[in-house]
Structure 1
Amino acid sequence: MSQAAGTFALAGVNLPDLPEQIVTTPQELAACCEYLTGQRQFGFDTEFVGEDTYHPRLCLVQVATNERLILIDPLTVGPLDAFWKLVVDPANQVVVHAGREEVRLCRLWTGSIPGNLFDLQIAAGLVGLAYPLGHAVLVNQVLGVQITKGETLTEWRDRPLTPQQIRYAFDDVRYLLPVWDALAQRLGKLGRLDWAREEFARLAAVAAPEEPVAEKWRKLRGLGSLDRRRLAIVRELSRWREGVAAQTNRPARTIVRDDLLVEIARRNPTRERDLSVIRGLRRRDVAAILHVVQQARGLALEECPKVIEREQDQPQLALITNVLTAVQGDFCARNHLAANLVANGQDVRLLVRAAMQGAAPPEDSLLSQGWRRQHVLPHLLAILEGRSSLRITDVGAEAPFTITEA
């Protein structure tokens, strides 16, 4: 594995003042997109409001090139199809910071994800900075520039925008390309550009999955006490709720709360009167809910979801997981990686559980995939299988262990 000595630092960064443009008309948008067509790298951010609707309302688009900074007002410029076309074009390097929401918006409006994404937050973790780093902290650590984040909870739907909002919006993209340039160079020196591309693709897949709504209900609390038929009720109610929410553009939680989906299934009502005693249900939805429950109750047993049995782990699993997590942290410190980007506790736990069962490393653990499988997993397996041993040699060091072949 490629390594680098010292800490991440930049010297002599030249940050020119760039012209700033606010795009508010269809004609200005057309000219802006024509300009961006000639730019093969641009930074991209959005401001949106999603608390009151099923689909977030896009309120502002911020773009940065090496030549200018641009704010696009989606409330006045009309359809953004031409802009989104540029975002999904794989010939364009699109730079974001913590771009999960930008990926989701792109999928929502185009049906596709950005074609060539670079996420600064992920890249920072792959070169040894902390993960996840906020935008202001990352800019400061890479460029030595202090910026403020005073408008995070501002009302972006109101017009006209205040001078403070405009300054905040420009600053959100002002430093994206300089930070990108620095991190991309660092990734290249470490030989991790392929790792980064793998991580960016995973971000896009996780942020905008083509996941059927039917699977989301499994994350609800309180399912452990329900049998298969009642689980079917939860699943069908969840599907119905998502459909109503999308049709009316309202948050799903305002249709029926999560806890009420489980409570309805637990009661397994047969009459509208059975639902009337549940606080929090809207009366106008009672007939529709009962209809969904009746349909779920009519399913054949093999069509109902299976009860997922909770694994009963042996006591030593937690102890071994803690040791292996410490080994991972030591490894990441030595190799300039953010440990919590490499794997979380559940990934390590799955690995240990498989070893205790005499099974191969599980495919659903991040440690079994891509660059982690090649560069990180072998070091953990060497400890787990007793082929290497560790001892504490320097309690004052960021990487305090010495690992030797057993």
Structure 2
Amino acid sequence: MNYQIITQAEQLEAVCQSARNVDVVMLDTEFVRTRTYYPQLGLIQLYDGETLSLIDPTVIDDMSAFSALLKDTSVLKVLHACGEDLEVFNNSFGCLPYPMVDTQLMAAFLGHGLSTGFAALVENYLGVELDKSESRTDWLARPLSEKQLEYAAADVFYLQPLYEKLFEKITQAGWWEAAQQESDLVASKRIKNVNQEMAYLDVKGAWQLKPRELAILKPLATWRLKEALRRDLALNFVFKENDLLTIAKQGIQNRNRMEQEGMDPRSVQRHSTRIISIVKSAKMTPVDEFPEPIERLMDMPGYKQKFKVLKDEVKRASTASGLATEFLASKKQLNQLMSWVWKKDRDPAKLPDVMQSWRLELFGEKLNKLL
């Protein structure tokens, strides 16, 4: 397994130009995400069938040649379990690889579990046992060891023969177009336009709060998100979610109270003044401007019965198609459909997953009628 390390823009230009002359390339990334809001890109693996390149984005100033490859519609990009990789690409380069297909999804159309790992598929289809001991390594550290580099290279080297085997089987089974559609769906979900003013709706447990308490949580959650984005810090490293809920519920306006409630002393020291100011201001919110109570789907009348009816229909579709029920429609996707019907009046601009592409024909219309 020969690979080259790319550390200069001229080298990058050459390997990307070469990759754009083939029909299919293999892609992967290595990144670190411990305390940061955004994933920190450490390495990019690119294999065009002949040349395997390990691209070091930490030392190359001009990555435009790579962005051009990501956007080149004449080249299919193959990745495995690409959800977080897509986030990395979008954050680092402002674009996603297109067209793109995910081998984990291809495998799911062939009866494998939705979260089947790369090593398991490589062993299954290629008879090769991969060493995964470097998966938790620090990809931002330099220099990278030979073991790290070989681990990274293997992820795209074996991806090509795996893709070819899966492609042959999925084409025979008639699912190739569906696999492309599903890959596009996964990609579309990774581009999030975060509405900062509505960040409170993403706080777990917010549904338990009364409108008066939500009026406090809402500006607190917006402040925390803005702070996380500004400092590129994971939300809970700014201020813990449970602590935000406690402050909103009790309307705490006192630093000592925060400490008595067991909140992180460093976060309290850093942010208590700002938080107290936000709480005081929020307490002045007129009643008619309180947020609406958050009604959970599962608390709506008839939810359990309807959910079971939908689940049974998905099981029938699973038996008929040979695809796993959780791949056809997860609990989240069924809830998304019910929410679309019950809360969004079947808005055609906000179609749920099961009312799109391959799922629509297979069972989506039936589910819609059942509601």
Q: Tell me whether the two structures share a fold, i.e. TM-score over 0.5.
A: yes
Using the alignment, how far apart are the partners of 1:20 and 1:67 within structure 2?
10
**How far, CA to CA, are the matches of 1:176 and 1:146 in structure 2?**
13
Q: What are the superposed Cα offsets for residues 254-295 of structure 1, whole Å, 9 maximum, x if unpaired?
A: 111101111111122456666565432422312222233344
Measured in 2, the distance between the counterparts of 1:354 and 1:36 equals 42
Percentage of pairs with the same residue: 27
1:44 Cα deviation after fit: 0.8
Q: Give the drift of 1:59.
A: 0.9
Decide which of 89, 108, 114 is 1:125's aligned counterpart.
108
Aligned residue identity for 2:279? V
What per-residue deviation string (whole Å, max 9, x for no partner) do you get for residues 81-101 of structure 1?
A: 321231133232111101111
Of structures 1 and 2, the larger Rg is shown by 1
Q: Choose which of 254, 277, 282 in structure 2 pairs with 1:296.
A: 282
Render the CA deviation track for 1:152-182: whole Å, top value 9, x for unaligned. 1112222222221111111111122222233
Counterpart residue type for residue 150 of structure 2: R
Equivalences for residues 69-88 of structure 1 within 5 A: 69-88=52-71
CA shift in 2, pair 1:208/1:346, >3 Å: closer
1:24 counterpart residue number: 7
Q: Is 1:187 the counterpart of 2:170 in the alignment?
A: yes
Query: In structure 2, what is the Cα distance between the partners aligned to 1:236 and 1:367?
Result: 34
Greater Cα shift, 197-206 or 365-374: 365-374
| Separation in structure 2 between the aligned mates of residue 302 and residue 374 of structure 1, nearest angstrom | 45
* 72-81 or 44-53, larger mean C-alpha shift: 72-81
- Is the CA contact 1:19–1:67 (under 8 Å) kept in the aligned structure 2? no
1:57 maps to 2:40: yes
What's the counterpart of residue 397 of structure 1?
none
Q: Is the 8 A contact 2:200 2:206 kept in 1?
A: no
The partner residue of 1:238 within 216, 221, 235 is: 221
Are the equivalent residues in 1 in contact too, given 2:9–2:63 (CA < 8 A)? no
3-state SS of 1:376 partner: helix
CA distance in 2, matches of 1:193, 1:297: 56
Q: Does 1:309 find its partner at 2:309?
A: no
Query: 2:340–2:347: 8 Å Cα contact kept in structure 1?
Result: yes
Q: How does 1:39-58 map to 2 (within 5 A)?
A: 39-58=22-41
- Residues 344-385 of structure 1, C-alpha deviations (whole Å, 9 max, x = no match): 2354467789999xx989976533333212112456689x69
1:264 to 243, 247, 254: 247
> Which residue identity is paired with 1:96?
L
- When normalised by structure 1's length, the TM-score is 0.78
Contact 2:45 2:156 in 1 (8 A): yes
For the residue of structure 2 that corresponds to 1:282, the secondary structure is helix
Q: Offset at 1:138?
A: 1.6
Residue in 1 that maps onto 2:78? 95
How far 1:132 moved relative to its partner?
Answer: 1.6
CA distance in 2, matches of 1:349, 1:241: 28
- State the match for 2:353 in structure 1: 366
From the superposition, tell whether residues 196 and 298 of structure 1 become closer, same or farther in structure 2 (CA, over 3 Å): farther
| TM-aligned CA distance change 1:256 to 1:346, over 3 Å | closer
Q: Distance in 1 between matches of 2:287 and 2:166?
A: 54
Q: Does the CA contact (< 8 Å) of 1:361 and 1:368 recur in 2?
A: no
Q: Does 1:68 align with 2:63?
A: no
Gaps of 5+ in 1: 1-17, 386-406
CA distance in structure 1 between the partners assigned to 2:98 and 2:336 by the alignment? 32
Distance 1:353 1:169 in 2: 42
Q: Secondary structure at the match of 2:46?
A: strand
Could you tell me whether the CA contact under 8 Å between 2:219 and 2:278 is conserved in 1? yes
The one-letter code of the counterpart of 1:374 is E
Q: How does 1:193-212 map to 2 (within 5 A)?
A: 193-212=176-195
Q: Quick check: 365-374 or 53-62, which moved more?
A: 365-374
**Correspondence for 1:390:** none
Q: 1:71 to 1:380 in 2, by over 3 A?
A: same
Q: Distance in 1 between matches of 2:356 and 2:120?
A: 30
- Do the aligned partners of residues 226 and 325 (structure 1) sit closer, same or farther apart at CA in structure 2, a change above 3 Å counting? closer
- How far residue 136 of structure 1 moved from its aligned partner, in angstroms, is 0.7
Tell me which amino acid in the other structure corresponds to 2:318.
C
Structure-2 change in CA distance of 1:292 and 1:327 (3 Å): same
Residues 48-69 of structure 1: CA deviation (Å, up to 9, x unaligned): 1110222222111111111121
Find the residue that maps to 2:224 and give its secondary structure.
helix
Within-5 A mapping of 1:314-353: 318=304, 321-322=307-308, 325=311, 328-329=314-315, 331-348=317-334
Q: How many residues align?
A: 365
Whether the 8 Å CA contact 1:60–1:73 is kept in 2: the answer is: yes
Unmatched tracts of structure 2, length 5 or more: none
Counterpart AA for 1:290: I
SS of match in other structure, 2:27: strand
Query: Aligned pair in 2 of structure 1 residues 293, 137: CA closer, same or farther (>3 Å)?
Result: same
Give the aligned partner of residue 218 of structure 1. 201
Could you tell me how far 1:151 is from its partner in structure 2?
0.9
Cα distance change of structure 1 residues 302 and 180 upon mapping to structure 2, 3 Å threshold:
farther
Q: What CA distance in whole angstroms lies between the structure 1 residues aligned with 2:310 and 2:181?
A: 24
Task: State how far apart, in whole Å, the 1-side matches of 2:176 and 2:18 are.
Answer: 28
Asked whether the 8 Å contact 2:36–2:232 carries over to 1, the reply is yes
For residues 216-252 of structure 1, give each alpha carbon's deviation from its aligned partner in whole angstroms, at most 9, with x where no partner exists. 4323233233222321322221221122222222222
**CA contact 2:44–2:57 (8 Å) conserved in 1:** yes
Partner amino acid, structure 1, of 2:25: F
Counterpart Cα distance in 2 of 1:331 and 1:85: 41
